[in-house]
Amino acid sequence: MGGGTTEYTVQKLGTLAGISTRTLRYYDEFGILKPARINSSGYRIYGQAEVDRLQQILFYRELGLSLESIKDIVTAPSFDGAKALQEHHDKLLEKRKQLNLLIANVEKTLASTEGRITMSDKEKFEGFKQKLIDDNEEKYGQEIREKYGDSAIDQSNQKVKNMTEEQHADIQRLEEEMFESLVDAMEGGDPASVLAQKAADLHRQCLSFYWGTYSKEAHAGVAQMYVDDERFTAYYDKRQPGLAAFLRDAVHHYTGTEK
Protein backbone atom coordinates (compact mmCIF):
# COMPACT_ATOMS: atom_id res chain seq x y z
CA MET A 1 0.00 0.00 0.00
CA GLY A 2 1.17 3.54 -0.53
CA GLY A 3 2.21 6.09 -3.12
CA GLY A 4 4.18 5.72 -6.32
CA THR A 5 3.81 6.34 -10.03
CA THR A 6 4.96 2.99 -11.42
CA GLU A 7 2.70 1.54 -14.09
CA TYR A 8 2.42 -2.07 -15.17
CA THR A 9 1.24 -3.93 -18.23
CA VAL A 10 -0.92 -6.98 -17.59
CA GLN A 11 2.16 -9.17 -18.12
CA LYS A 12 4.30 -7.27 -15.63
CA LEU A 13 1.53 -7.07 -13.01
CA GLY A 14 0.87 -10.79 -13.33
CA THR A 15 4.57 -11.51 -12.78
CA LEU A 16 4.70 -9.14 -9.80
CA ALA A 17 1.65 -10.68 -8.13
CA GLY A 18 2.40 -14.28 -9.07
CA ILE A 19 -0.83 -14.80 -10.99
CA SER A 20 -1.58 -15.43 -14.65
CA THR A 21 -2.42 -12.77 -17.20
CA ARG A 22 -5.55 -14.80 -17.92
CA THR A 23 -6.66 -14.26 -14.31
CA LEU A 24 -6.09 -10.50 -14.59
CA ARG A 25 -8.08 -10.37 -17.81
CA TYR A 26 -10.88 -12.28 -16.14
CA TYR A 27 -10.85 -9.86 -13.19
CA ASP A 28 -11.26 -7.06 -15.74
CA GLU A 29 -14.17 -8.79 -17.49
CA PHE A 30 -15.74 -9.64 -14.13
CA GLY A 31 -15.59 -5.97 -13.14
CA ILE A 32 -13.51 -6.45 -10.02
CA LEU A 33 -10.20 -5.01 -11.30
CA LYS A 34 -10.28 -2.65 -14.23
CA PRO A 35 -7.01 -1.27 -15.67
CA ALA A 36 -6.30 2.42 -15.15
CA ARG A 37 -6.29 2.90 -18.90
CA ILE A 38 -5.76 1.25 -22.27
CA ASN A 39 -2.73 2.62 -24.11
CA SER A 40 -2.52 3.46 -27.80
CA SER A 41 -1.34 -0.06 -28.59
CA GLY A 42 -4.39 -1.57 -26.87
CA TYR A 43 -2.55 -2.82 -23.78
CA ARG A 44 -4.08 -2.72 -20.32
CA ILE A 45 -2.11 -0.40 -18.04
CA TYR A 46 -2.37 -0.65 -14.25
CA GLY A 47 -1.36 2.04 -11.75
CA GLN A 48 -0.85 2.14 -7.99
CA ALA A 49 -4.57 2.13 -7.19
CA GLU A 50 -5.02 -1.05 -9.22
CA VAL A 51 -2.00 -2.67 -7.54
CA ASP A 52 -3.55 -1.91 -4.15
CA ARG A 53 -6.92 -3.25 -5.30
CA LEU A 54 -5.30 -6.48 -6.54
CA GLN A 55 -3.56 -6.88 -3.18
CA GLN A 56 -6.94 -6.63 -1.43
CA ILE A 57 -8.50 -9.13 -3.82
CA LEU A 58 -5.72 -11.66 -3.22
CA PHE A 59 -6.01 -11.19 0.54
CA TYR A 60 -9.73 -11.95 0.38
CA ARG A 61 -9.13 -14.94 -1.91
CA GLU A 62 -6.62 -16.30 0.60
CA LEU A 63 -9.32 -16.02 3.26
CA GLY A 64 -11.63 -18.16 1.14
CA LEU A 65 -14.15 -15.57 -0.11
CA SER A 66 -15.84 -16.01 -3.47
CA LEU A 67 -15.20 -13.49 -6.25
CA GLU A 68 -18.84 -12.40 -6.03
CA SER A 69 -18.43 -11.57 -2.34
CA ILE A 70 -15.11 -9.81 -2.93
CA LYS A 71 -16.64 -7.70 -5.70
CA ASP A 72 -19.45 -6.61 -3.39
CA ILE A 73 -16.91 -5.62 -0.74
CA VAL A 74 -14.27 -3.77 -2.76
CA THR A 75 -16.69 -1.96 -5.08
CA ALA A 76 -18.94 -0.73 -2.26
CA PRO A 77 -18.87 3.09 -1.84
CA SER A 78 -18.12 2.61 1.87
CA PHE A 79 -15.08 0.37 1.25
CA ASP A 80 -12.15 1.46 3.44
CA GLY A 81 -8.82 0.04 2.27
CA ALA A 82 -6.98 0.76 5.53
CA LYS A 83 -9.73 -0.80 7.62
CA ALA A 84 -9.84 -3.83 5.32
CA LEU A 85 -6.08 -4.27 5.68
CA GLN A 86 -6.43 -4.27 9.47
CA GLU A 87 -9.18 -6.89 9.19
CA HIS A 88 -6.92 -9.01 6.95
CA HIS A 89 -4.19 -8.71 9.56
CA ASP A 90 -6.51 -9.84 12.35
CA LYS A 91 -7.76 -12.83 10.37
CA LEU A 92 -4.25 -13.89 9.42
CA LEU A 93 -3.28 -13.78 13.09
CA GLU A 94 -6.24 -16.04 13.83
CA LYS A 95 -5.08 -18.43 11.09
CA ARG A 96 -1.55 -18.39 12.51
CA LYS A 97 -2.92 -19.20 15.95
CA GLN A 98 -4.83 -22.14 14.50
CA LEU A 99 -1.78 -23.33 12.56
CA ASN A 100 0.35 -23.09 15.70
CA LEU A 101 -2.19 -25.24 17.55
CA LEU A 102 -2.06 -27.90 14.84
CA ILE A 103 1.75 -27.81 14.73
CA ALA A 104 1.90 -28.21 18.51
CA ASN A 105 -0.60 -31.05 18.24
CA VAL A 106 1.54 -32.88 15.68
CA GLU A 107 4.70 -32.32 17.72
CA LYS A 108 3.04 -33.71 20.85
CA THR A 109 1.72 -36.69 18.90
CA LEU A 110 5.21 -37.43 17.56
CA ALA A 111 6.64 -37.20 21.07
CA SER A 112 3.88 -39.47 22.34
CA THR A 113 4.51 -42.00 19.56
CA GLU A 114 8.20 -42.03 20.41
CA GLY A 115 7.37 -42.57 24.09
CA ARG A 116 8.82 -39.25 25.26
CA ILE A 117 5.51 -37.96 26.67
CA THR A 118 2.03 -39.23 27.47
CA MET A 119 -0.71 -37.46 25.50
CA SER A 120 -4.32 -37.50 26.64
CA ASP A 121 -7.15 -38.13 24.19
CA LYS A 122 -8.38 -34.59 24.83
CA GLU A 123 -5.02 -33.13 23.80
CA LYS A 124 -5.05 -35.14 20.56
CA PHE A 125 -8.13 -33.34 19.32
CA GLU A 126 -7.59 -29.80 20.66
CA GLY A 127 -6.29 -28.35 17.40
CA PHE A 128 -8.96 -29.98 15.26
CA LYS A 129 -11.80 -28.83 17.51
CA GLN A 130 -10.52 -25.26 17.38
CA LYS A 131 -10.36 -25.48 13.60
CA LEU A 132 -13.99 -26.65 13.51
CA ILE A 133 -15.01 -23.64 15.59
CA ASP A 134 -12.97 -21.22 13.46
CA ASP A 135 -14.34 -22.63 10.20
CA ASN A 136 -17.94 -22.37 11.43
CA GLU A 137 -17.38 -18.81 12.63
CA GLU A 138 -15.89 -17.83 9.28
CA LYS A 139 -18.69 -19.39 7.24
CA TYR A 140 -21.77 -18.79 9.37
CA GLY A 141 -20.69 -16.69 12.38
CA GLN A 142 -22.39 -13.44 11.47
CA GLU A 143 -25.73 -15.01 10.59
CA ILE A 144 -26.03 -17.33 13.57
CA ARG A 145 -24.84 -14.69 16.05
CA GLU A 146 -27.42 -12.24 14.73
CA LYS A 147 -30.10 -14.93 14.95
CA TYR A 148 -29.26 -16.56 18.29
CA GLY A 149 -27.02 -14.05 20.07
CA ASP A 150 -23.37 -14.06 21.12
CA SER A 151 -24.00 -15.82 24.43
CA ALA A 152 -25.64 -18.88 22.86
CA ILE A 153 -22.93 -19.23 20.20
CA ASP A 154 -20.11 -18.76 22.71
CA GLN A 155 -21.64 -21.50 24.89
CA SER A 156 -21.89 -23.76 21.85
CA ASN A 157 -18.24 -23.15 20.96
CA GLN A 158 -17.22 -23.97 24.52
CA LYS A 159 -19.11 -27.27 24.32
CA VAL A 160 -17.19 -28.14 21.17
CA LYS A 161 -13.89 -27.35 22.92
CA ASN A 162 -14.85 -29.67 25.79
CA MET A 163 -16.08 -32.43 23.51
CA THR A 164 -14.51 -35.84 23.99
CA GLU A 165 -13.43 -38.20 21.22
CA GLU A 166 -16.36 -40.47 22.11
CA GLN A 167 -18.85 -37.61 21.83
CA HIS A 168 -17.45 -36.64 18.45
CA ALA A 169 -17.84 -40.23 17.25
CA ASP A 170 -21.43 -40.25 18.58
CA ILE A 171 -22.26 -37.13 16.58
CA GLN A 172 -20.91 -38.65 13.38
CA ARG A 173 -22.88 -41.85 14.00
CA LEU A 174 -26.11 -39.98 14.76
CA GLU A 175 -25.73 -37.73 11.73
CA GLU A 176 -25.15 -40.68 9.40
CA GLU A 177 -28.19 -42.48 10.85
CA MET A 178 -30.22 -39.29 10.41
CA PHE A 179 -29.24 -39.01 6.74
CA GLU A 180 -30.08 -42.64 6.08
CA SER A 181 -33.49 -42.23 7.73
CA LEU A 182 -34.20 -39.03 5.81
CA VAL A 183 -33.34 -40.54 2.43
CA ASP A 184 -35.51 -43.58 3.14
CA ALA A 185 -38.36 -41.41 4.44
CA MET A 186 -38.25 -39.18 1.35
CA GLU A 187 -39.21 -42.15 -0.80
CA GLY A 188 -42.59 -42.14 0.96
CA GLY A 189 -42.87 -38.38 0.63
CA ASP A 190 -44.42 -37.86 4.07
CA PRO A 191 -42.44 -35.70 6.54
CA ALA A 192 -44.87 -36.77 9.29
CA SER A 193 -44.10 -40.48 8.82
CA VAL A 194 -42.55 -42.54 11.60
CA LEU A 195 -39.22 -42.71 9.75
CA ALA A 196 -39.15 -38.98 9.04
CA GLN A 197 -39.91 -38.22 12.68
CA LYS A 198 -37.10 -40.55 13.71
CA ALA A 199 -34.78 -38.46 11.52
CA ALA A 200 -36.06 -35.26 13.17
CA ASP A 201 -35.36 -36.71 16.60
CA LEU A 202 -31.87 -37.78 15.54
CA HIS A 203 -31.33 -34.24 14.35
CA ARG A 204 -32.37 -32.97 17.79
CA GLN A 205 -29.88 -35.35 19.41
CA CYS A 206 -27.09 -34.00 17.19
CA LEU A 207 -27.94 -30.44 18.15
CA SER A 208 -27.87 -31.32 21.85
CA PHE A 209 -24.10 -31.82 21.61
CA TYR A 210 -23.73 -28.14 20.66
CA TRP A 211 -26.58 -26.38 22.46
CA GLY A 212 -26.71 -25.50 26.13
CA THR A 213 -30.50 -25.82 26.20
CA TYR A 214 -33.00 -27.12 23.64
CA SER A 215 -36.16 -25.38 22.49
CA LYS A 216 -38.62 -26.43 19.81
CA GLU A 217 -38.67 -22.92 18.38
CA ALA A 218 -34.89 -22.84 17.95
CA HIS A 219 -34.92 -26.33 16.44
CA ALA A 220 -37.54 -25.26 13.91
CA GLY A 221 -35.58 -22.08 13.19
CA VAL A 222 -32.40 -24.01 12.42
CA ALA A 223 -34.30 -26.34 10.07
CA GLN A 224 -35.76 -23.33 8.27
CA MET A 225 -32.27 -21.86 7.91
CA TYR A 226 -31.23 -25.02 6.05
CA VAL A 227 -33.65 -24.02 3.31
CA ASP A 228 -33.13 -20.24 3.44
CA ASP A 229 -29.33 -20.39 3.29
CA GLU A 230 -27.96 -21.98 0.12
CA ARG A 231 -24.78 -23.10 1.89
CA PHE A 232 -26.75 -25.28 4.30
CA THR A 233 -29.07 -26.42 1.52
CA ALA A 234 -26.10 -27.61 -0.52
CA TYR A 235 -24.74 -29.59 2.43
CA TYR A 236 -27.97 -31.59 2.78
CA ASP A 237 -29.01 -31.71 -0.85
CA LYS A 238 -25.67 -33.22 -1.92
CA ARG A 239 -27.01 -36.44 -0.35
CA GLN A 240 -30.25 -36.14 -2.27
CA PRO A 241 -31.93 -33.15 -3.95
CA GLY A 242 -34.71 -31.75 -1.77
CA LEU A 243 -33.36 -33.29 1.43
CA ALA A 244 -32.96 -29.93 3.23
CA ALA A 245 -36.60 -29.00 2.60
CA PHE A 246 -37.79 -32.46 3.63
CA LEU A 247 -35.82 -32.25 6.89
CA ARG A 248 -37.28 -28.78 7.49
CA ASP A 249 -40.81 -30.12 7.07
CA ALA A 250 -40.09 -33.14 9.28
CA VAL A 251 -38.65 -30.94 12.04
CA HIS A 252 -41.57 -28.51 11.83
CA HIS A 253 -43.96 -31.43 12.32
CA TYR A 254 -41.78 -32.81 15.13
CA THR A 255 -41.77 -29.47 16.95
CA GLY A 256 -45.42 -28.67 16.23
CA THR A 257 -44.49 -25.49 14.39
CA GLU A 258 -45.70 -26.46 10.91
CA LYS A 259 -48.04 -24.00 9.21
pLDDT tens-place string over residues 197-238: 999 999 999 888 887 778 899 899 889 988 988 878 888 998
- Is residue 46 within 8 Å of residue 36, measured between CB atoms? yes
Cα three-residue angle 175-177-178, rounded to 5 degrees: 60
Closest listed residue to residue 55, CA positions, set 84, 30, 77, 29: 84
Angstrom distance (rounded) from CA 50 to CA 56: 10
Is the pTM here over 0.85, yes or no?
A: no
Tell me how far the alpha carbon of residue 133 is from its chain's centroid: 10
pLDDT tens-place string over residues 109-159: 666 566 675 655 555 555 555 666 666 666 666 666 676 667 767 776 777
Angstrom distance (rounded) from CA 223 to CA 177: 17
Per-residue model confidence (pLDDT) at position 2: 44
